[in-house]
Amino acid sequence: MDANQLYQQIRAKKSFLCVGLDTDVRKIPLSLTSKGKHDAVFEFNKAIIDATADLCVAYKPNMAFYEVNGARGWDSLAHTVQYLREHHPEIMIIADAKRGDISNTASMYAKSMFDSMDFDAVTIAPYMGRDAVQPFLEYQGRWAVLLAVTSNESWNDFQTLDIQSAHGDKRQLFEEVLERSKHWGHEGNMMYVVGATHASMLQRVRQIVPEHFLLIPGIGHQGGSLDDVVKYGMNRRCGLLVNSARGILYADGSARFAEAARAKALELQQQMARHLEQLG
């Protein structure tokens, strides 16, 4: 999927919502797990997708929640991707995997994520540098989503360290990550993760990467605000994918979970529609 196809979808759906499929088997309603269904995680995802696909432009499965179920979890994930491809081929699928390794291993991860699994995009950690990202950029129409500013409590252990750059100017680590990595690919094959919990950082991010898509976790459950994200992070075309996972998936723990998920997703989509209108 290229950037134009993604923008087409954003305009058509009046949404830049990404639904995080952090599907925790312990939080799935009994109505699904007790039915002796073959694959309750997939059934849950399918119900969430059916309830929200017209309101969002991307789904983001969180790999940890599938890996924890071993080979069975990997199957749930493969079925989810397959279901999306068959029923909603326009939607972007982002593997939240935070991979990153030496080049021959990174090539394997890229093959795993793009060939074996058919994801459109993968999140990647920057500590190992260009090597760890390059193999993902060699796939036409696929994306590498590099961590810049994360939404977790200890984000500033390292990301905001003051760096002495070669030119003598002062930068923080996340700015150096952005400055260097933006030349590895381009706006059509790289995005950045910037947590909504530090929305004011978005201004500084936008000074370095004005045109790239930013994948924004952390609204809702983690405390970030959509209005702030838009205020500091939206560019002239939009340039945002805002993720919500727990707030949508577990809006209601009963058999009516899908309706409740739709209501939450609709609420976010309507706010997004207003922001997109103002953009023109």
Q: How far is the CB of 187 from a second copy (least distance, A)?
A: 20
Could you tell me the smallest distance in angstroms from the CB atom of residue 219 to a second copy? Answer: 14
Helix axes 257-279, 40-52, angle to 10 degrees: 40
Q: Which is nearer to a second copy, 11 or 72 (CB)?
A: 72
Main-chain dihedrals φ then ψ at residue 220, nearest 5 degrees:
75, -120
Which amino acid appears at position 110 of this protein? A
Do 106 and 112 contact (CB within 8 A), yes or no? no
Residue 98 is among the residues annotated as catalytic for this protein? yes
Q: Look up residue 205 and give its amino acid.
A: V
Contact positions toward a second copy, by CB under 8 A?
A: 22, 24, 62, 64-65, 67-75, 78, 96, 98-103, 105-106, 108-109, 111-112, 115-117, 125-132, 147, 150-159, 161-164, 170, 173, 176-177, 180, 217
* Integer Cα distance of 12 and 18 in angstroms: 15
What tokens appear for 225 in the block?
């605000």
Beta carbon nearer to a second copy, 77 or 91: 77
Q: Nearest approach, Cβ of 181 to a second copy (angstroms)?
A: 8
* 58-61 and 17-21 beta bridge pairing: parallel
Residue 62 has what DSSP assignment? B
Q: Are strands 240-244 and 17-21 parallel, antiparallel or unpaired?
A: parallel
Q: How far is the CB of 25 from a second copy (least distance, A)?
A: 11
Q: For a second copy, which is the closer residue by CB, 127 or 138?
A: 127
CB closer to a second copy out of 63 and 265: 63
Among 98, 111, 182, 231, the active-site one is 98
Which residues are designated catalytic? Answer: 98
